[in-house]
Structure 1
Amino acid sequence: MADGDDRQATFGSDGSLETDTTPDATGENDFGEAKESNETDGGYSRYTVSSLLQKAVRRSDEDVAAWAAWELARSGYAWNLWDRLNLYVVEDLRAGSDVALTIERYEELATERWEPAEWKGRLCAIHAALAAARARSTREGPNADEYFRSVADLRAEARERGEEPAHDFPVGDLEPGGEFDAIFDGHTGEGSKLGRGTRFFKTRGARVGPEGEGEHSARWQRLAMLLDEERDYSAAELDRAVEPVDSDDPWHEPETIGKNREESDESDREDGDEGGRSDGPDGPDDSHESLSDFSS
């Protein structure tokens, strides 16, 4: 729940635990005894059960994850359960997992359509916990965050000493002409100053990962470039635009594209293509392809 963080444990000035137990979590436990603050129906601390749920998800222990979710839901701590499950999605599961949407849907059903502590709500809690436990577990998000924060501190300390940092971000200084030169197209201030327009973006900045463009996407890209009334792309440029990046060196781009094109700042300007046709040393470049090559 959105207000879950407001109900986390805090400590008073004397070191005692200060809690806010919701009305749904009061009453008697399974033994007929009045529940203490933050006690579950089974007689456990909700903090202990919540921690158990996260570790069970992380270790892919389905039985324990399902029980912990059930225990929190039936004990009146559904807000705590759903708050933690949504945290696990970003803290303990592999990026891109569709489990995030699954858990969101179960939470919606349990809290908006049904009562979270009732039978249907408890089933949603169990299903969500099982979905999380069965997903690919990883600590890549928190590990990356901790590493990047540490490197940021080291970089700042090194700059203060006037030294090069022992550890740096994986992108270095991010300057034109460097490893990531392709990012400096017309969408950036540096790229605009270099006169890098649509030609540069199409043949360098818009290229996709090692899997490459799909058949339809590649065809549409080529046709769009051929129909461009302001630029006349060579066959080499058409090929380069849809060529997948190298999985081992995804940022490499050649200085020139095609043996007949001398790429320069001037040739890439929006109004500097001079019709766009590139002439080779022996006359006009005949390597341009026609619409008929891709329109079928």
Structure 2
Amino acid sequence: MADGDDRQATFGSDGSLETETTPDATGENDFGEQKEPNETDGGYSRYVVSSLLQKAVRRSDEEVAAWAAWELARSGYAWNLWDRLNLYVVEDLRAGSDVALTIERYEALATERWEPDAWKGRLCAVHASLAAARARSTREASNADAYFGAVAEIRAEARERGEEPAHDFPVGDLEPEGEFDAVFDGHTGEGSKRGRGTRFFKTHGARVGPEGEDEQSARWQRLAMLLDEEIEYDAEELDRAVEPVDPDDPWGESDGVDEDGHDSESDDDSGGDGTGSLTDFAE
């Protein structure tokens, strides 16, 4: 049963299903008959229409999605409609889509400013369902949850048998000196033990994705490091701090870096102390 459905369906002491219909969902259906519990105005089960809504959105069937949303809204099941659309946002929508905010806005209009089953409320329902159906659908979050959960069980069973797991998390054991060594900075216990303070964080932990910092951000970063009164960074450290990570190896680091993040191979060949001047980065 989907989230929110427990508000209208519970089990009695004898195990039988007990349903409770909201006041807005009572009355007659389109055929002049008294509606049964959880029946829509068109004579359908609201559970089926609710499921249809999400499946239609997932398959980008705009007309069916719009009808299902309209049917739930006009039948007094607007709460079910908005629960289902918000479930879509986290279960079937590509991460980062602004459609999530669009649906939230339509819901606020339909439920806080207007009556959800009235004309304006129904229009909000249709708009929201169409926005959802037109969005990029993906099961990536649900698939990730299922996959990581299965791996967790495999790891636990393998440990109990004293064996290596056939499948493991993408981070493995997540230990210092491994692939993800950059995460063990001063914000972690292991990083603190290794004396990895601000220098290590600036040159390793704070690096950003393949696109890198834009020109202004990189300039601010370099100037902030140059103005640091406690740490003197060399030229290679200044470059590394703003260097984008390799898209094919985002956790890779330069060779010759010691425990505190300083390049152990740097020398005076870089020219003086290698820090440059403030005017070099202020223009």
TM-score, structure 1 normalization? 0.89
Shift of 1:233: 1.0
Contact 2:110 2:124 in 1 (8 A): yes
The 3 A distance-change label for structure 1 pair 242 and 35 is same
Deviation at 1:214, TM superposition (A): 1.1
Task: Give yes or no for the alignment of 1:225 onto 2:225.
Answer: yes
2:258 alignment partner in structure 1: 264
Deviation at 1:232, TM superposition (A): 1.3
Q: Which runs of 4+ in 1 moved over 6 A?
A: 281-284
CA contact (8 A) 1:207 1:245 kept: yes
Contact 1:7–1:19 (CA under 8 A) maintained in structure 2: no
What CA deviation, in whole Å up to 9, does each residue of 1:170-222 have, x standing for no partner? Answer: 00001000000000000000000000011110010000000111111111101
Q: Which residue of structure 2 aligns with residue 274 of structure 1?
A: none
Q: Which amino acid aligns with 2:259?
A: D
Alignment RMSD (CA, Å): 2.0
Code of the residue aligned with 2:152 in structure 1: it is A
Q: Where does residue 288 of structure 1 map in the other structure?
A: 275
Tell me which residue corresponds to 1:114.
114
- In the other structure, the counterpart of 1:136 is 136
Identity of aligned residues (%): 82
Cα deviation, residue 241, structure 1: 0.5
Change (3 A) 1:280 1:70: same
Partners of 1:98 and 1:279 in 2: CA distance: 46
Give the secondary-structure state (helix, strand or coil) at the position aligned to 1:147.
helix
Task: Give the corresponding residue for 2:255.
Answer: 255
Which stretches in structure 2 are left out of the alignment for 5+ residues?
none
* SS class of match (2:282): coil
Is the 1:106–1:127 Cα contact (8 Å) retained in structure 2? yes
Contact between 2:203 and 2:261, CA under 8 Å: does it hold in 1? no
Report if the CA contact (8 A) 1:279-1:285 is conserved.
Answer: no
- For residues 1-296 of structure 1, the aligned pairs below 5 Å read 4-12=4-12, 16-256=16-256, 263-265=257-259, 280=267, 285-296=272-283
User: What amino acid is the match of 1:293?
Assistant: D
Post-superposition offset of 1:7: 1.6
Q: What's the CA shift string for 1:127-184, capped at 9, x where partnerless? A: 1101110110000111110111111111111111111110110000010000000000
Q: 1:37 to 1:186 in 2, by over 3 A?
A: same
Q: Distance in 2 between matches of 1:39 and 1:78?
A: 13
Q: Quote how far apart the aligned CAs of 1:279 are.
A: 7.6
Residues 94-138 of structure 1 show CA distances to partners (whole Å, capped at 9, x for unaligned) of 011111111111111100110000011001111110111011000
Q: Is the 8 A contact 2:200 2:261 kept in 1?
A: no
* Other-structure match for 1:271: none
Q: Give the CA deviation at 1:5.
A: 4.4
* AA matched with 1:157: E
The one-letter code matched in structure 1 to 2:231 is R
Q: Within 2, Cα distance between the matches of 1:137 and 1:279?
A: 49
* Contact 1:203–1:237 under 8 Å retained in 2: yes
**Aligned residues of 2:115 and 2:121 also touching (Cα < 8 A):** yes
Contact 1:245 1:251 in 2 (8 A): yes
Distance 2:20 2:89 in 1: 25
Give TM-score, length-normalised by structure 2.
Answer: 0.93
**How many equivalent residue pairs?**
280
- Change in 2 beyond 3 A, CA 1:250/1:12: same
Distance 1:189 1:252 in 2: 22
Alpha-carbon distance in 1 for matches of 2:37, 2:93: 31
Per the TM alignment, residue 234 of structure 1 is displaced from its structure 2 partner at its CA by 1.1
Structure 1 gap segments, 5+ residues each: 257-262, 269-277
* 1:33 alignment partner AA: E
Conserved in 2, the CA contact under 8 Å of 1:234 and 1:287?
yes
Deviation at 1:10, TM superposition (A): 3.9
Q: 1:265 Cα deviation (Å)?
A: 3.3
